[in-house]
Amino acid sequence: MPFGLIIIGDEILSGKRSDKHLPKVIELLAERGLRLAWAEIVGDDRPRITALLERSFAGPDIVFSCGGIGATPDDHTRQCAAAALGVPLALHPEGKLLVQERILDTAREAGVDADLDAPENLQRLKLAEFPQGAALIPNPYNRMPGFTVARHHFVPGFPIMAWPMIAWVLDNHYRDLFHREARSERSLLVYGQAEAVLTPLMERVETAYPGVNVFSLPSVGDNKTRRHIELGVKGDPLQVLAAFGEMCEELTRMAAEYQVQN
C-alpha cells in the first residue's frame, strides 16, 4: 500500500526554512520495512491545498500531511481537508478537553487563573476543530492533537511534534504492513562510461528480472572521486542478487572500470 507525504508552508517555498520532514519520513518508514511513494510541497494557498487533497483523497494511498493545522490566519489545512471531503468542520469533544487542559496547565505554571471563556481561549478551541468524523492523533509534546480522516494523517509542521506523531500512527494503525515486502539493493560505481553505452545493459537486466528496478545516478565527481555513474538494482532480494551478478559480469566483459558499493 503506497505512502505519500504532503508538506505545507510558504516558509518552505520561500526558503525561510529548510524542509526536514521528507528525509525523516523516509527514515521512519524504512525502519518499519516501508517506503515512500511520493511527496509534494504546497504553500499556504487554500485553493491549491484543497485541490491537492481532493486528488489525494480520491486515491488509495496512505498520506501524511505536515503543517498548517494551527488556528492563525495562515493555517488552512483543517479547512481545506473538510472542503476537499465535502464535510463541515466540527469541534472534536476529546480535542476540546485536551485544549482546555493545556490552557489550564499553562495558566497554573504561570501562577494565574485561567478563564476558559476568555476570547483568546475560545480562539484556541479552533485547534480542536477538525473535519467531521476525524479521529485524533496524540501529540506527546504539548497535547495539541493532530487528526486522521480518510487514510490521511495531519500533523503540525514542527518536527518535534510531527515526527513522534507520525511514528505513533505507523505503530498503531499500520503495524500489519511492517516488513511484508522483502527488498534489497546493490550498486556499483562505473568510471569512464556514458549512460547511453550502459542503457542497453540496464534494459536487458530489467527485462530478464521483472522483480527488480535498475537505477542510474550520474555524478560529475568532486575532490574525493572522479566522474562516475552509480549503477544498481533494487527489489526482490533473490532477483537482485542474480541481476547484480549478471550486471557485474557484463561490465567485466565490456572492460569497464567499476567499484562495488554494497
Q: What is the CATH number of the domain that holds 128?
A: 3.40.980.10
| Residue listed under C-alpha cell 559480469 | 249
Whether residue 172 sits in one domain with residue 196: no
CA distances from 243 to 33, 202, 250 (A): 22, 10, 11
Structural domain harbouring 137: 3-177
Whether residue 154 sits in one domain with residue 92: yes
CA distances from 8 to 20, 55, 159, 161, 257 (A): 12, 16, 13, 15, 44
Whether residue 145 sits in one domain with residue 27: yes
The 3-class secondary structure across 122-184, one letter per residue, is HHHHHHHEEECCCEEECCCCCCCCEEEECCEEEECCCHHHHHHHHHHHHHHHCHHHCCCCCCE
Whether residue 15 sits in one domain with residue 145: yes
Structure confidence at residue 183 (pLDDT): 87
Among 152, 177, 202, the domain-final residue is 177
User: Are 228 and 189 contacting, i.e. CB atoms less than 8 angstroms apart?
Assistant: yes
**Is the pLDDT at 262 greater than 80, yes or no?**
no
CA distances from 158 to 21, 23, 64 (A): 9, 14, 14
Whether residue 240 sits in one domain with residue 165: no
Among 150, 177, 204, the domain-final residue is 177
The C-alpha atoms of residue 135 and residue 113 are separated, in whole angstroms, by: 31
Total number of residues shown for the chain:
262
Structure confidence at residue 33 (pLDDT): 93
Structure confidence at residue 193 (pLDDT): 92
The C-alpha atoms of residue 23 and residue 141 are separated, in whole angstroms, by: 21
Average pLDDT, the chain: 95
Q: Which tens digit of pLDDT belongs to each residue from 222-257?
A: 888 889 999 999 999 999 999 999 999 999 999 999
SS3 48: helix
SS3 100: helix
Question: What CATH number has the domain bearing residue 254?
Answer: 3.30.70.1130
Q: How many domains does the chain have?
A: 2
Amino acid residing at 110: A
Over range 139-161, report the average pLDDT.
Answer: 97
Helix and strand counts by DSSP (H, E) for the chain: 9, 12
Whether residue 167 sits in one domain with residue 41: yes
Structure confidence at residue 37 (pLDDT): 97
Whether residue 123 sits in one domain with residue 93: yes
**Is the pLDDT at 101 greater than 80, yes or no?**
yes
Whether residue 83 sits in one domain with residue 36: yes
Whether residue 173 sits in one domain with residue 228: no
Structure confidence at residue 16 (pLDDT): 95
Whether residue 58 sits in one domain with residue 171: yes
Sequence-separated (6 or more) residues with CB below 8 Å from residue 236: 182, 183, 184, 211, 212
Q: Which tens digit of pLDDT belongs to each residue from 7-59?
A: 999 999 999 999 999 999 999 999 999 999 999 999 999 999 999 999 999 99
Q: Which tens digit of pLDDT belongs to each residue from 108-118?
A: 999 999 999 99
Whether residue 33 sits in one domain with residue 147: yes
Among 160, 177, 194, the domain-final residue is 177
Whether residue 204 sits in one domain with residue 164: no
**pTM over cut 0.85:** yes
